[in-house]
Amino acid sequence: MVMIEVTGLTYYYPLSHTPALKEINLQIEAGQFVAVIGANGAGKSTLCLVLSGLIPTLFNGRMLGNVTINSMNTRNHTPGEFAGRVGLVLQNPTNQISEMRYTVFEEVAFGLENLGVSPSEMPERIEHVLRLTGLIDLRDRSPFTLSGGQRQRLALASMLVLDPPVLVLDEPTAMLDPQGSREVFHIIQTLTTKNTTVVITEHNLEWIAQTADRVIALNKGSIVLDGNPEFVLTSPLLETFGIDYLRYTQAARESQIYGLWPSQTPLPVTLEQSVLGFNRVSSIKKGGG
């Protein structure tokens, strides 16, 4: 089932003559975990706003083409109508805190209240996402006393509690330490097993390589690469778009020059693939000796 369909999408911000997104055609299946990568200014955040239904309704720019999310065309529905259907987590979590609730628990409940969820259903759903995001011990804390990383978890919890079929995340680990990033990606993987469609922009390609089903690379508002992580993250075009290779890929590329990486073996994007490749070289050399 196609959950997201984008056809002929071009978008100009107000007063801009250069498109932020250009001729985007895209289909994303239900339950797919899609990572969007690209250099700064490539159009990643704009695509997130499009896929959350905020563009074109809340922005006064010019949009060509159509975006359909869960059978709803974004031209014909307000962001309020997408609430509960598409969850958006922004890079700066402070922008998503309501400033209208006194505790973490109440902040997570805020979205449920706006959707008219029965009060009897709320505690169980809230407790579940607080545990999932590691915030259960902070349930009675004020959101304003949380660290940046804790606020990011709160923003994520506030979306997860709505149980949206589509979740869009714009660099959700930007303010997290490595352990926090690992936990966020673990949460996302858990969601995709429940058929939640996830679109995430992320600079940390190591996490993308380990978890994403599909990677889309943007450059100057256009899709330039689209495929599985092994295809996109080892593409010889990557550096021309201002995207660095993973350290495992770079080490194998350099090793090929000296015959230390099998020429017929695909370049690695994870530690496990790297170890297997170098072990294969070692075995060949021992056998030849």
At residue 193, does pLDDT exceed 80?
Answer: no
Which residues make Cβ contacts (< 8 Å) with residue 154, sequence separation at least 6? 93, 97, 104, 107, 108, 133, 135, 143, 146
What is the residue-averaged pLDDT of the chain?
A: 89
Please give the DSSP secondary-structure letter assigned to residue 144.
G
Check residue 265 and give its pLDDT: 83
Beta bridge partners of 256: none
The total number of structural domains in the chain stands at 2
Starting at the edge strand found earlier in the chain, the sheet holding 2-12 runs: 21-29, 2-12, 62-69, 72-73
Check residue 58 and give its pLDDT: 85
CA 27 → CA 3, 36, 45, 126, 277, distances in Å? Answer: 8, 13, 18, 32, 33
> Are 14 and 72 found together in one domain?
yes
For the chain, the straight-line distance linking the first and the last C-alpha, in angstroms and rounded, comes to: 54
> Are 263 and 232 found together in one domain?
no
The pTM is what? 0.89
Check residue 148 and give its pLDDT: 81
At residue 192, does pLDDT exceed 80?
Answer: no
Q: Which domain holds residue 43?
A: 1-85+195-236
> Are 66 and 34 found together in one domain?
yes
Tens-digit pLDDT profile for residues 136-166 = 999 999 988 988 888 888 988 999 999 899 9
In a domain, 174, yes or no: no
Taking 3-state DSSP, the helix, strand and coil percentages for the chain, each rounded to the nearest 5, stand at 40, 20, 40
> Are 7 and 65 found together in one domain?
yes
The torsion angles phi and psi of 227, rounded to 5 degrees, stand at 175, -165
Tens-digit pLDDT profile for residues 22-55 = 999 999 999 999 999 999 999 999 999 999 989 9
Residue 202 sits in a domain whose CATH number is 3.40.50.300
| Position with higher pLDDT, 94 vs 2 | 2
In a domain, 16, yes or no: yes
Check residue 285 and give its pLDDT: 57
